[in-house]
A and B are shown apart, each in its own frame.
Chain A
Amino acid sequence: MQTSPFLRIESLTAAYGATRVLDRVDLDVRRGELVALLGSSGCGKTTLLRSIAGFVTPESGRIHIGERDITALAPEHRGTAMMFQSYALWPHMSVAQNIGYGLRMRGWKKEAIAGRVGEMLTLLQLEGYGPRPVTQLSGGQRQRVALGRALAVSPEVLLLDEPMSNLDYKVRVELRHELRALQQRIGITAVYVTHDREEALALADRIAVLNAGRVEQYGTPEELFHQPASAFVAGFMGADNAIDVVPAANGGWQAANGASGGGSMRAYFRSEAAQLLGQSPAGPGALVLSGTVAQMLYVGHGYRYRIRLPASEVWVHAPERIDQGTPASVAVPQEALLLFPLHEQRAA
């Protein structure tokens, strides 16, 4: 994998009317890398992808692929291929015609197109489907055809707009692995838009978390998961519990319980990282919270508890069953605490 950036986005700003959708976004993608744009709906991730494809005209900023500045080029001259959320397969064409379309546009000879389409069908395990109308295919098959259509032209950058969102969970997880294996085998550079954290973590070399038109954090999945740069990223990465804390005497932290002294922070942690204390004592430096079990949900591999605390409540995962109303203590190891200053929370 090369280290010099292949796809470079510099200070890209885009707006729909008066609404600013992208605000000075910078992003570097290396050759052969798969980068996920992760964010909730309306964060600008699809707009960013569509500006790379040329369907959105940015107000300012530049986009480069290799040495080429593609900012002002028409979509057909950019050398990108996009896979659409709806797949956007042409219903009046067969599978083979769909896959061969881009090659036809590039002036390939009939036999060459047929050969390449055959390769794609084999690659995507769709042998024999060439003459079929795309309207007769299942969701998973359509998805493969859409991918094949984009890959057939050997694009410099593959753009994927939530390509799995229309599939069942099981098919989605299966295709996720296939797609990753395929992308690594071909070594294609790809930008993948998704709102699914799990998908982004599993697929991407690097993830850019977008929030309100800005890149909140850009890094490897591990970095984002363990060292979120902001409260927003922490929340998006599954740290769904938030509690205000102040420094404790033992060098750790304790719940603020309304008091906001010097050095008070907001701590985020995952429900899996916390422990429900029975007999076992809390580890040194752990944040200990006392409350009662307010709600219990069985989630298959254990229970999820809503623990009511004096000033707030937290969710905790535990393997054993505890009845509602039981007094309970929650311990969060110090290394599982993601701490952010309170004022940043208000800004986000």
Chain B
Amino acid sequence: MTTARLGRVDLLPMVTRGFFLALIAFVIFGPLANLVLWAFAERWYFPNKLPNEYGLSFWYRVFQPRGNALASLGTSVWIAVLTVLFSLAVAVPAGYALARLRLPWRAGILLLFLLPQAVPNMPVYVNIARVFYTIGLNGTVAGVVLVHAAHGLVLAVWIASAAFAAVDASLEEASRNLGASPWTCFRTVTLPLAAPGLIASAIFVFLESLDEFTGTYFVGVPDVTTLPLLMFNASMGGNYQIASITALLLLVPSIAFMLVVERFLKPEVLAMVGR
């Protein structure tokens, strides 16, 4: 008797929960499913709900040695790596200073890095492109890296500052106390302890750079073609297969790195973000 009554009571929340889970799954995975279908569709004409014919011929086209997909992938990764290096070169000293030194305009400086995100992207990029054009940075990898870094630095500096702030200051004092110079202390204690946060920020910057589109479009075209630009061109040309395959390619590093980030970004670091 008791179990039956319990069963009936539990049924309603279970159904509701199942319904919402299904809804969320559809919202998230629906577009992805469409992407996967298109990536393997040989032919797909309008009234049909599913592709007329499946195949891998577009994959061959993407991955053939002369195909520009692989070249763009290379460009994308190269730019992302440079962006990460550049961002870290700025974020490590800046983050450390923001976390440790008593800077008078601390909050202001943190907000300054947020500024590129706060204003509408388009006018900013148009103006950057205009400036870069006059100084010869338009259409160069360096120009694209700078644009990506402007974006990535927010994440990099904010997370790096949080990562350094999460390192207990007495750990550094103990190191100095036992004979370490400021630089040795930073190298042997502060940096290793902040490393997980810094790695996480590097990964965010890498991913941000990998699928950045607008800035690359204004600064890089037509000389620098990254994967998102290739995808854009393909879908504008009605070639949904190429666009979908490129999108799937972009998805791989994103998912892989998200798993890594999840391991590295500890709660005590997250708690310090923006402090």
Give the interface of A toward B (CB within 8 A). Answer: 53-55, 74-76, 80-82, 84, 86, 88-92, 101-102, 105-106, 149-150, 153
Q: Evaluate contact between B168 and A105: CB separation under 8 angstroms.
A: no
Least CB distance, A169 to chain B, in whole angstroms = 24
**Contact, CB under 8 Å: B176 / A76:** yes
User: What would be 8 A-B contacts, judged by CB atoms less than 8 Å apart?
Assistant: A55-B173, A76-B179, A82-B177, A88-B174, A102-B178, A105-B184, A150-B178, A153-B179
Given A75-B176, A101-B175, verify A88-B170 contact (CB < 8 Å). yes
Residue of A nearest to B179 (CB): A105
Considering the complex, give the chain A residue whose CB is closest to the CB of B173: A55
Contact with A along B69-82 (1 / 0, CB 8 A): 00000000000000
| A74/B173 in contact, CB under 8 A | no
The answer, among A53, A75, A84, A92, for a CB contact under 8 Å with B193, is A92
Q: Is the CB of B177 within 8 A of A80?
A: yes
Contacts of A90 in B (CB 8 A): 171, 174-175, 189, 193
* Contact A81 B168, beta carbon cutoff 8 Å: no
**B87 → A minimal CB distance (Å):** 24
By the criterion CB–CB under 8 Å, are A81 and B177 in contact? yes
Q: How far is the CB of A148 from chain B (nearest CB, A)?
A: 12
Q: Are B168 and A74 in contact (CB under 8 A)?
A: no
A105 to chain B: closest residue by CB: B179
| Contact present for B181 and A76 (CB under 8 Å) | yes
A76/B180 in contact, CB under 8 A: yes
Q: Which residues of A contact B168 (CB under 8 A)?
A: 86, 88
Task: Provide the residues of chain B in CB contact with A80, threshold 8 Å.
Answer: 177
A90-B188 Cα distance, complex, nearest whole Å: 10
Q: Do residues A153 and B178 form an inter-chain contact, with CB atoms below 8 A?
A: yes
Q: What B residues does A76 contact at CB under 8 A? A: 176-181
Residue B136 at the chain A interface, CB threshold 8 Å: no
Q: For residue A54, which residues in chain B have a CB less than 8 angstroms away from its CB?
A: 176-177
| Cα–Cα distance between A54 and B192 once the two chains are bound (Å) | 24
Q: Are B173 and A91 in contact (CB under 8 A)?
A: no
Whole-angstrom CA separation of A149 from B177 in the bound complex? 11
**Most chain B C-beta atoms within 10 Å of own C-beta, residue among A74, A76, A84, A153:** A76
Given contacts A91-B193, A92-B193, contact A101 B178 (CB under 8 A): yes
User: A86's closest neighbor in chain B, by CB?
Assistant: B170
Question: How many B residues touch A, CB cutoff 8 Å?
Answer: 17
Q: Mark B152-181, 1 if CB is under 8 A from A, else 0.
A: 000000000000000010110111111111
Chain A residue nearest to B178 (CB atoms) is A102
- Identify 7 new A-B residue pairs, CB closer than 8 A, beyond the known A75-B173, A149-B178: A76-B179, A76-B180, A76-B181, A82-B173, A88-B171, A105-B179, A149-B174
CB-CB < 8 A to B193: which residues of A? 90-92
* Residues in A neighbouring B189, C-beta threshold 8 A: 90
Residues of A within 8 A of B188 (CB): 101
A107 to B, closest residue via Cβ: B179
B173, B180, B181, B192: the one within 8 Å of A88 (CB) = B173
Contact B175 A92 (CB under 8 A): no
Given A86-B170, A88-B168, the answer on whether A75 and B192 have CB atoms closer than 8 Å is no
- List of A residues within 8 angstroms of B178 by Cβ: 76, 81, 101-102, 105, 149-150, 153
B173 in contact with A92 (CB, 8 Å): no
CA distance A76 to B185 in the complex (A): 10
A106 and B192 form a contact (CB under 8 A): no
- Alpha-carbon gap, A230 to B157, bound state (A): 54
**A105–B187 alpha-carbon span in the complex (Å):** 12
Q: Given the known A-B contacts A84-B170, A86-B168, are A92 and B192 also in contact in the complex, defined by CB atoms under 8 Å?
A: yes
Q: Which of A75, A101, A102, A106 has the most CB of B within 10 A?
A: A75
**Quick one: closest A residue to B192, CB to CB?**
A92
Is there an interface contact between B179 and A82, defined as CB atoms closer than 8 Å?
A: no
For the complex formed, measure the closest distance between the CB of B222 and the CB atoms of chain A, giving whole angstroms: 48
CA gap between A91 and B175 in the complex, in Å: 13
| Distance of A261 Cα from B180 Cα, bound (Å) | 64
Whether the Cβ atoms of B184 and A53 lie closer than 8 Å is no
Instruction: Give the complex CA separation of A168 and B193 in angstroms.
Output: 29
Query: B98-122 interface mask toward A, CB cutoff 8 Å, 1 = contact, 0 = none?
Result: 0000000000000000000000000
A76 to B171, CA, bound (A): 14
A77 to nearest B CB, angstroms? 8
Contacting residue for B174 out of A82, A92, A106, CB 8 A: A82
In the bound assembly, the distance between CA atoms of A56 and B10 in angstroms comes to 63
CA A106 – CA B177 in complex, angstroms?
12
CA distance A53 to B184 in the complex (A): 18
CA distance A74 to B185 in the complex (A): 13
Q: State how many angstroms separate the Cβ of B26 from the closest Cβ of chain A.
A: 44
**Shortest Cβ distance from A50 into chain B, in angstroms?**
8
Most chain-B CB neighbours within 10 Å: which of A74, A102, A105, A153? A105
**B170→A75 contact, CB < 8 A:** no
Which residues of chain A have C-beta atoms less than 8 A from B175's C-beta?
Answer: 90, 101
